[in-house]
Amino acid sequence: MKKLISILLALAMMFSFAACGSEPAANAKYTVGICQLVQHEALDAATLGFKDALTEAFGDEVAFIEHNASGDAATCITICNQLVSEGVDLIMGNATAALQAAAAATSDIPIVGTSITDYATALEITDWTGKTGRNITGTADLSPLDQQTAMIPELFPDAKKVGILYCSAEPNSVYQADIVAEELASLGLETEVFTFADTNDVANVTTTACAASDVIYIPTDNTAASCAETIANVAIPAGTPIISGEENACKGFGVATLSISYYDIGFIAGQMAAEILENGANPGEMEIQFAPETVKKYNEAICTELGIEVPEGYVAIE
């Protein structure tokens, strides 16, 4: 019986990959594997931009094998190992867990990341130079943290206590939170960190954070973004405004954000991938790229509900 169950589970996983993946065209010159951590608007936009850039460069000579890990880091590992065994020409890792899984799966196949907050943290590189020095390059989704932090006293000049809320399992969230805490301290604001381990305790931790904070800051955090409705259902009735690290999460629970275009960073990552595939560029010598511009944006609906008056220079999120 145990053996039968194991076989059935293996078959289920195989069929699940078939359902979420796409097979390469027979006449393709390049086959690119994509591992995306979870489906949500920001990462979807980055993947679309990546594919558009490569399609613009190669037309139907590039094919994609695309998989989504449904938020599970262990599934990212399985996906990337499968892509390596299939002999793809390049792997794109969308979000930190996907990049880490690709890095663990191969040191030979070129890897391009996108939607990565900090490559040094993700890859445990201590002597960071802006390049990885290995088979990896890509684009970052980090907007300037000092500018994000400055939005808090700008929007809430009477705030004294800022809660920093994030998933402790995401190293890039830890990285952002540490820097933001330092920036807030330099502005004379008191901070307290609130972390949830996974989706199961988001509501309880958010409730605690709202009770203790005048304002909450949530960094670019995939788990938080996937639980936007849960967070909003706690924070809005509590009357606690949230500054978000990225726009798509801000649509769900935030009042304002310093926004970048995930499509743009995905497109730039695709251009970098094309340079690697066509011209043999060395990923380890390619500098990590950032979004070309940032925009202060606000969530009109939540600001109205909380009675927040937004100063000039902010653009409403569409």
Whether residues 20 and 72 fall in one domain: yes
pLDDT in tens, 258-306: 998 999 999 999 999 999 999 999 999 999 999 999 999 999 999 999 9
Whether residues 6 and 111 fall in one domain: yes
99: which residues sit within 8 A by CB, 6+ positions away?
93, 111, 113, 116, 122, 123, 136, 138
DSSP 289: B
Q: Which long-range contacts (CB under 8 A, 24 or more apart) does 24-27 make?
A: 24/63, 24/64, 24/65, 25/60, 25/63, 27/60, 27/61
pLDDT in tens, 183-201: 999 999 999 999 999 899 9
Is 7 a residue whose pLDDT tops 50? no
Q: How many domains does the chain have?
A: 2
Domain hosting 51: range is 2-141+262-285
- For residue 21, name the pLDDT band (cuts at 50, 70, 90): low
Domain of 179, CATH number, reads 3.40.50.2300
Integer-rounded Cα radius of gyration of the chain: 20
Question: What does the alpha-carbon distance between residue 251 and residue 225 come to, in Å, rounded to a whole number?
Answer: 10
- Note whether residue 77 is domain-resident: yes
* Range of weakest confidence among 22-36, 104-118, 265-279: 22-36
- Note whether residue 290 is domain-resident: no
Both tokens of residue 47? 């993947």
35: which residues sit within 8 A by CB, 6+ positions away?
67, 69, 76, 79, 80, 83, 91, 92, 93, 94, 98, 101, 102
Question: What does the alpha-carbon distance between residue 271 and residue 264 come to, in Å, rounded to a whole number?
Answer: 11
Higher pLDDT, 7 or 94: 94
Whether residues 130 and 268 fall in one domain: yes
Whether residues 192 and 241 fall in one domain: yes
- Note whether residue 159 is domain-resident: yes
- Note whether residue 185 is domain-resident: yes
Whether residues 178 and 235 fall in one domain: yes
Give the 3-state secondary structure of residue 78: helix
Whether residues 117 and 67 fall in one domain: yes
Whether residues 185 and 108 fall in one domain: no
Among 258, 246, 206, which residue's Cα sits nearest to residue 227? 206
pLDDT at 12: 47
Whether residues 33 and 80 fall in one domain: yes
Question: What does the alpha-carbon distance between residue 228 and residue 209 come to, in Å, rounded to a whole number?
Answer: 15
For residue 288, give Cα distances in angstroms to 39, 79, 160.
24, 24, 36
pLDDT in tens, 137-181: 999 998 899 999 999 999 999 999 999 999 998 888 998 999 999
Burial class (CB within 10 angstroms; exposed 0-12, middle 13-18, buried 19+) of 257: buried
Whether residues 301 and 277 fall in one domain: no
Instruction: Please give the sequence-ordered ranges of beta strands (E in DSSP) within 30-140, or none if there are none.
Output: 30-36, 62-68, 90-94, 111-116, 136-140
Single-letter amino acid, residue 203: A
Is 81 a residue whose pLDDT tops 80? yes
Whether residues 164 and 299 fall in one domain: yes
Question: What does the alpha-carbon distance between residue 258 and residue 249 come to, in Å, rounded to a whole number?
Answer: 12
Q: State percent of the chain over pLDDT 90.
A: 81
pLDDT in tens, 240-256: 999 999 898 999 999 99
Whether residues 300 and 170 fall in one domain: yes
Is 11 a residue whose pLDDT tops 60? no
Whether residues 43 and 134 fall in one domain: yes
Single-letter amino acid, residue 160: K
Number of C-alpha atoms within 13 angstroms, CB side, residue 153?
Answer: 13
The owner of tokens 């990590």 is 288
Burial class (CB within 10 angstroms; exposed 0-12, middle 13-18, buried 19+) of 7: exposed
Burial class (CB within 10 angstroms; exposed 0-12, middle 13-18, buried 19+) of 316: exposed
Among 221, 218, 181, which residue's Cα sits nearest to residue 198? 221
